[in-house]
């Protein structure tokens, strides 16, 4: 799976709809301090199911919704969509197999209500998490290495480092399914 497009509306400093496209090769995001570079990374983490506001540099989850500026009033909803190009070697759930791309969407309303969608169809958070398990993509995987993460990996506890290696090897998917089966 490869990130193709990111579509952000009302998320943190992105009041207006902003669309980023990612081509083959390396994409760099540059700009002055405070212009929203890290917010782009936060939005990717968020749409893939991040549940910790702290990991998104906020106090509560509502902090991801645009909270206004000197000239603009706060918005009542944040929405992020992330589109992946699907490779032939990717194994997707049956209902998505054969599709050239898959789009995950997350919405959060100030009322606290939230929605997750895969290809514009409402789904559970679990469906999103499962979609990414074993792909290296996902909130706890290694496809997003932000500032300070390299040092953290090197100095992490052996079990934590093992989790990362197991995700890279594609083992986590089966471990998580086994756990779910044991709970039933």
Q: Quick one: which of 9, 44, 66, 140 contacts ligand ATP (CB under 6 A)?
A: 66
Q: Quick one: which of 2, 37, 173, 175 contacts ligand ATP (CB under 6 A)?
A: 37
| 32 φψ region: left (φ > 0), alpha (ψ -120 to 50), beta (else) | beta
Q: Tell which positions 34-73 bind Mg ion, by CB under 5 A.
A: 37-38
Q: Quick one: which of 25, 28, 31, 158 contacts ligand ATP (CB under 6 A)?
A: 31
In the complex with Mg ion, the residue whose CB is nearer, 46 or 84, is: 46
Q: How far is the CB of 174 from ligand ATP (least distance, A)?
A: 36
Q: Quick one: which of 19, 35, 153, 180 contacts ligand ATP (CB under 6 A)?
A: 35
Q: Rounded to whole angstroms, how far apart are CA atoms 12 and 96?
A: 31
Contact status: 103 vs Mg ion (CB under 5 A) = no
- Per residue, what are the HEC states of 25-83? CCCCCCCCCCCCHHHHHHHHHHHCCCCCCHHHCCCCHHHHECCCCCCCCCCCEEEEEEE
For helices 172-183 and 158-169, give the axis angle rounded to 10 degrees: 100
Contact status: 18 vs ligand ATP (CB under 6 A) = no
In the complex with ligand ATP, the residue whose CB is nearer, 6 or 131, is: 6
Residue in the block written with tokens 């998320």: 11
Q: Rounded to whole angstroms, how far apart are CA atoms 112 and 108?
A: 7
Q: How far is the CB of 40 from ligand ATP (least distance, A)?
A: 7
Burial label for 130, CB within 10 Å (0-12, 13-18, 19+), is middle
Which residues form the interface with Mg ion (CB under 5 A)? 37-38
Which residues form the interface with ligand ATP (CB under 6 A)? 12-13, 31, 33-39, 63, 65-67
């Amino acid at each position: 799976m490869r990130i193709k497009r990111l579509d952000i509306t009302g998320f943190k400093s992105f009041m207006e709809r902003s669309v980023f496209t990612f081509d083959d090769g390396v994409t760099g995001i540059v700009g002055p301090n405070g212009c929203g570079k890290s917010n782009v990374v936060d939005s990717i983490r968020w749409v893939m199911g991040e549940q910790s506001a702290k990991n998104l540099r906020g106090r509560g989850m509502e902090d991801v919704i645009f909270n206004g500026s000197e000239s603009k009033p706060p918005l009542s909803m944040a929405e992020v969509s992330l589109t992946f190009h699907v490779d032939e070697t990717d194994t997707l759930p049956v209902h998505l197999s054969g599709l050239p791309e898959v789009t995950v969407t997350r919405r959060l309303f100030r009322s606290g209500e939230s929605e997750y969608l895969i290809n514009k169809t409402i789904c559970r958070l679990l469906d999103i998490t499962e979609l990414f398990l074993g792909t290296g993509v996902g909130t706890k995987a290694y496809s997003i290495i932000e500032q300070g993460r390299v040092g953290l990996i090197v100095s992490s506890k052996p079990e934590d480092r093992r989790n990362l290696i197991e995700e890279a090897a594609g083992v986590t998917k089966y471990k998580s399914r086994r756990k779910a089966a044991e709970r039933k």
